[in-house]
Amino acid sequence: METIKNSIPYKLVSWDLLPNSNVFHIPSISSTPIKGFPFQLDSKLISEQFFPLSLHYLTPVSVAFVYFITVHAINKVVARRQEQLFLSKNPNKAVPKRLPAAPYPIAQWKSFKVFVFLHNVALCAYSVWSLVGMTWTIYVSSHELIPNLIGRYYSLSSKLSPVDLFWQSVCDIDHGIWYNQGDSLKGLSFYSYLFYLSKYYEIVDTVIILLKGRQASLLQSYHHSGAILSMWAGTRFASPPIWIFVVFNSFIHSIMYFYFSLSCLGVRLGKFFKQTLTTLQICQFVFGGSLAVVHLFVQYFDVLSGSYKSCISTSEEALAIFINVFYLTPLTVLFAAFYIDSYKRKDKVKTQ
């Protein structure tokens, strides 16, 4: 079919005062089809059984619930162990609010220490890989793929705005960053699914803390539980803003697990580095959550129909945003409380 090229007399992206009314409908969680298996594997066990099962809503909900409840049950056991160890060494002293660690024997094993080091190195390397891969996909999509697509249908009388091309590549699920572009360029569907699975593995962080004889904080357990649910929603419903979670979180984790890896080697970077890392995490939540909400008001130009479409056009896509915002709000408060307790109060005590 011959393509008639028309010029584009308007911008690729426009902004609405209100979100698409469809986003406020009740989402269809179980009946919405999954947007394709993002890997080139011949295994039906993975593509037809594991993949859909992992994205069924009961999987993240069950794991997050069991993890959260189990951690706080084990915390009580660890707390008693800490108290007993403290009293055995200090029989005449009152039990302090913050008890020293009471590590289990396995925490002293050399093999355990090697495992913890490799665990941190692996997560650091994976985070760097995800960050580089996802940002490269966004760059290629906005600088090459989307301009080429538009050029097949429309004459470009003026240079397209980089900002418009970015939003076009992010919002257009069918032609933007979501799907893989051959073997060389992986899409958000690929990176977000792997990132979603990595949130299950990160539970190992909590196991390590407990085996070292320290209680896992509410911040720790809430953070991991919510991350599983948030990544599930964005991946399951192909919600465009999930790129924010992948890019921002992989950036922070690249730094965080690098720090943990150095700590395993006995290298201490000092309070300033830890304080800066916590500040970056808080900024990630505030800016990332706000940017996710912005997607609700974006309309992108659909090349094939020649009309504008909402970046977030379904209640399922919007559900991912609402879950993330609902998750990030108390998480930001918990991190802010941690920041004050860890840095500001200690500084105040030193100056008194």
pLDDT digit string, tens, across residues 241-250: 999 999 999 9
Query: What is the C-alpha separation between 279 and 267, in angstroms, rounded?
Result: 21
Taken in order 58, 59, 61, 65, the sign of the CA dihedral is positive
Q: What is the pTM of this model?
A: 0.93
Domain annotation covers residue 117: yes
Per-residue confidence band for 320, with pLDDT thresholds at 50, 70 and 90: very high
Per-residue confidence band for 350, with pLDDT thresholds at 50, 70 and 90: very low
Range of the domain at 302: 41-351
- The per-residue pLDDT for range 51-91, each reduced to its tens digit, is 999 999 999 999 999 999 999 999 999 999 999 999 999 88
Domain annotation covers residue 131: yes
Domain count, the chain: 1
User: With 70 as the cut, is the pLDDT of residue 7 above it?
Assistant: no
Query: pLDDT value at position 351?
Result: 46
Domain annotation covers residue 281: yes
CA 136 to chain centre: 18
Query: pLDDT value at position 210?
Result: 97
Query: pLDDT value at position 352?
Result: 44
- CB of 259 within 8 A of CB of 277? yes
The two three-digit tokens of residue 37, written as one number: 């298996």
Write down the mean pLDDT value for the chain: 91
State how beta strands 13-15 and 6-7 pair.
unpaired
The H or E element containing residue 47 is none
Domain annotation covers residue 336: yes
User: With 80 as the cut, is the pLDDT of residue 5 above it?
Assistant: no
The H or E element containing residue 14 is strand 13-15
Domain annotation covers residue 14: no
- CB of 146 within 8 A of CB of 175? yes
Domain annotation covers residue 35: no
Per-residue confidence band for 304, with pLDDT thresholds at 50, 70 and 90: confident
Q: What is the mean pLDDT of residues 13-17?
A: 90
Per-residue confidence band for 263, with pLDDT thresholds at 50, 70 and 90: very high
| Strand order across the 13-15 sheet | 13-15, 298-302, 307-310
Query: pLDDT value at position 184?
Result: 86
User: With 50 as the cut, is the pLDDT of residue 205 above it?
Assistant: yes
User: With 60 as the cut, is the pLDDT of residue 209 above it?
Assistant: yes
Domain annotation covers residue 275: yes
- CB of 120 within 8 A of CB of 257? yes
The two three-digit tokens of residue 212, written as one number: 């070292």
Query: What is the C-alpha separation between 13 and 294, in angstroms, rounded?
Result: 13
- The per-residue pLDDT for range 150-161, each reduced to its tens digit, is 888 877 655 788
Domain annotation covers residue 208: yes
